[in-house]
Amino acid sequence: MKKKTMLFCLLCLGISVISCSKKDKDEGPTDEEILTKKIEDIIPGKYLDSLEKLGLAIHMGTHPPQVEGSYAIKPHILDTSDIAGDYEGYRFSDATVHLSNQSTTDFSIKLLAEDYLKDFDSSLVTAISGYDNYFTVYGKVKATAAGSGAYAIVAILISGEKDGENLKNIRTGLINIDASHADASFIPEGKGRIAYDSDFISERIGNGLAPGEGNRSATPLPTLLSK
């Protein structure tokens, strides 16, 4: 009788272990794991470290605010850089960033930019992290120069806060991660910059604004990715 009881207990234990293992497997990755994997696909760890050393704050977390919209980044001013010849206070072209299709399940977000990195930029892979009103948007972007067709693959990070309809305290970090199709107008591969919206408010400039209808500098200035 004791042997039968022991055998029954072992059988129940085995079923319980199998059931728990199957449950754990079915649950899949956590939100933190999904987000971490996305960020790693966008920017290699060594380049993320480089931007943090230059002073870019990264707002981690799986509950970022809703930031969809089109926003004016102006005046767009250089803060820090590891590029020879750069200096604090240099002014770049006024820019527009379009954010749309923000997902709360896989942390993706569509990023389009005008006069931000080059003449027109489109995101290849994106993610957003954050908490409360703080957020960081991560984009692996193909930045294309008008006319020549030259392009570079760049990691761009936009950190800031949601403030009503607007964004505030916007800081942008960029680093060139693939310059194999770039020309001399681009910054070198592996080099980066941190810039900021110097009036600290990035105003929302319209709902559903189409690319090409954004903010433009009255006088053409270099973009953030220009050499």
Residue type, 203: E
- Pick 209 or 32 by higher pLDDT: 32
Residue 121: the pLDDT is 66
Please state whether beta strands 134-144 and 120-131 pair in parallel, antiparallel, or not at all (unpaired).
antiparallel
SS3 102: coil
pLDDT digits 0-9 by tens, 23-44: 455 678 999 999 999 999 999 9
Q: How far apart are the first and last CA of the chain?
A: 84
Query: pLDDT (tens digit, 9 = 90+) per residue, 103-146?
Result: 999 999 998 888 777 666 667 899 999 999 999 999 998 888 77
Which pLDDT belongs to residue 142?
A: 84
Residue labelled with tokens 């107008």: 185
Q: What is the mean pLDDT of residues 210-219?
A: 46
User: What would the pLDDT profile of 71-82 be if each residue is shown by its tens digit?
Assistant: 999 999 999 999
Instruction: Work out the angle at residue 106's Cα, subtended by the Cα atoms of residues 105 and 109, and round it to the nearest 5 degrees.
Output: 105
**Minimum mean pLDDT range among 6-15, 82-91, 133-142:** 6-15
C-beta atoms surrounding 180 within 10 Å: 8
DSSP 62: B
Structural tokens at position 216: 């433009």
Report percent pLDDT > 70 for the chain: 80
Q: Which two tokens stand for residue 48?
A: 């993320």
Location of structure tokens 């899949």: 28
Per-residue pLDDT, 26: 62
